[in-house]
Structure 1
Amino acid sequence: MPSVPTHRAAFGARVRELRTARGWSQEEFAHRADLDRTYVSGVERGVRNPTLDVINHLAKALGVDVMEFFSR
């Protein structure tokens, strides 16, 4: 099985960090972002490569600017 690219793993970890800071389960977050829970799981694990549209959905659901995913 191929390894997860570092940039996708870092992005997924940031999404997970923002989600858990709100106390949301993956299921609740997926519902708010209008995405499937398994897709959100894949994003957080770095196995999915989300499009800009999906990144925008994630940001809106979390109530953050897209750049929040890329800054610490």
Structure 2
Amino acid sequence: MLDAMLSKGKEDENGILFVCFPITAIAAVLSRSPMTVKRSLNELETAGLIMRVRQGIGEPNRIYVLIPGKEDAALA
């Protein structure tokens, strides 16, 4: 996802890169079921590695790839 964000990412209104990657597309690329993809995305979000922002009905979420420890560096 980080590669996709860097190569095909879009900027939000704050200039932060994100990627819109529908769950069905992720499932097809990884040859996994949509439920497995949802579970994996939930785990990544719980671990603080990604942040998903809902866009609306029928539109894919914005997925922001977070860099571990980046928040701590900003506070120092």
TM normalised by structure 2 equals 0.33
Q: RCO (CA 8 Å, sep 6+): is it higher in 1 or 2?
A: 1
Q: Point out the structure with the larger strand share.
A: 2
Computing the radius of gyration from Cα coordinates, the structure with the larger value is: 2
Q: Point out the structure with the larger helix share.
A: 1
